Amino acid sequence: MRIHALLIGINDYHPKSNVSSLEGCVNDVHRMESYIKTYYKDLKPKIKILTNEEATRNNIIENFNSELADKVKDNDVAFFYYSGHGSYNLPAKEFKKFDSRNQDETLVCYDSRLKGKYDLADKELAVLISKIQEGAEIIVMVDACHSGSITRTLAQRSYKRKFAKNSESDKPRPLKTYLAEDDQYYFKQFKKNGSLKIPMARHIALSACGRLEEAIEYPEGSGLFTNQILELLNKNQNLSYASLFSVIRNKVSSEYRAQNPELDPVNGFNPNSIIFRKGTIENHRRYLIKYIETDLKLEL
């Protein structure tokens, strides 16, 4: 069993892309790398990092294939982490039936807002995940806006937004543009079958917020979501994904009510699995208790 990780953090986008810069994404990546190397030496972690100009659309896809799809074996851990801007766009018309909102949730790559380029869409990430060896533990963690179905924002306290509006979001994306030119997974599938099917490989996704929400980063330089996760995990590595999520969701939404992290176990992934390790921890039933102040008076 070994950990294979692809960690992506983008503070500065292509100068011609008109995408605003962030401050904490590269820091998030290096903190995540340090955490893995500190507590999982026995799993001989192999970590690939892409930051800023290294994190082009093609480079992300190529490294996902070479570092995860090609190298991860049965029982290994495949970990994909992204910290940067998230967004959305109008998908190819052939995908309309898959989503009542008719929307791609996207990761904004370093160069994906240049003319003729596209963000990395949730439907493309689904294909990449499906290429990983069946039997591997696949974890996807995204600290970006609109990350609820994958997938940062300027709010109170000078928080910085992790959202990049797409001026092309009202134009349907051509089906041929999904994935690399030498792949065209969906275009080939539609040409052959006359219909589309989005692959649903077994994995678990932890997202900074819901698909209609925005995620924030601290002005000091760290995503709220990532910071809370690492603070907790550095204290206790023997947590399940479900246990981690139950604490993180409360901490994040308590600090910024407009951001509610999501946990999505897909295709049978057990959320009670211990993070990055084999085995499970069953969760005890929890009850949410709130104190509500009222003017009610009891008269006897």
Q: How far is CA 34 from CA 39, 51, 127, 222, 233, in A?
A: 9, 15, 29, 15, 12
In a domain, 22, yes or no: yes
* Count of beta carbons in the 10 Å neighbourhood of residue 235: 8
Q: What phi and psi, each to the nearest 5 degrees, are found at residue 142?
A: -130, 120
Which pLDDT band, with edges at 50, 70 and 90, does 185 fall under? Answer: confident
In a domain, 238, yes or no: yes
Which residues, other chains included, contact 186 with Cβ-Cβ below 8 Å and sequence gap of 6+?
92, 94, 123, 127, 175, 178, 179, 196
In a domain, 283, yes or no: no
Number of domains in the chain: 1
User: What is the secondary structure of 73-119 as a DSSP string?
Assistant: -TT-EEEEEEES-EEEE---GGGGGG-TT--EEEE--TTTTSTT---
In a domain, 274, yes or no: no
Which pLDDT band, with edges at 50, 70 and 90, does 65 fall under? Answer: very high
Q: What local confidence, expressed as pLDDT, does residue 216 receive?
A: 87
Percent of the chain at pLDDT exceeding 70: 84
Domain encompassing residue 147: 3-266
In a domain, 292, yes or no: no
Is the confidence at residue 285, as pLDDT, over 80?
no
In a domain, 37, yes or no: yes
**Which CATH number is 29's domain given?**
3.40.50.1460
Which residues, other chains included, contact 281 with Cβ-Cβ below 8 Å and sequence gap of 6+?
238, 239, 240, 243, 272, 274
Q: What local confidence, expressed as pLDDT, does residue 172 receive?
A: 83
In a domain, 202, yes or no: yes
In a domain, 239, yes or no: yes
Q: What is the pTM of this model?
A: 0.85
Average pLDDT over residues 119-141: 95
Is the confidence at residue 61, as pLDDT, over 80?
yes
